[in-house]
Amino acid sequence: MPKRIGIFSFFTSLYRDGFRNMTWGKPLVWLILLKLFILFAILRVFFFKPAMKGLTDQEKSEAVGAVLTKNHNEDTLIITE
């Protein structure tokens, strides 16, 4: 009776053997790793800090609300019935 392999073992061996036996695919893996490093370790960390990082949701609402309502106030509101 053939031995049954669990799904975790299957994918582990799939990846392990796949990477080991790679020929033309190896430069692609290095390319992906290099790209992910540039994206997440350089661009994300040094160049793309979220503008509202560190603010609470309430503070974010206040900040965006202030931008939306800049130049708009009670004096200019006309309430019609």
For position 3 contacting another protein by CB under 8 A, the verdict is no
Interaction between residue 11 and another protein (CB under 8 A): yes
Q: Are 63 and 55 in contact (CB under 8 A)?
A: yes
Distance CA 65, CA 8 (A): 49
Residues 37-66 that bind another protein (CB under 8 A): 38-39, 43-44, 47-53, 57, 60-61, 63-65
Residue 6 binding another protein, by CB under 8 A: no
Distance CA 74, CA 21 (A): 71
Q: Would you state the structure tokens that stand for residue 27, as one six-digit string?
A: 């430069």
| CB nearer another protein, residue 1 or residue 75 | 75
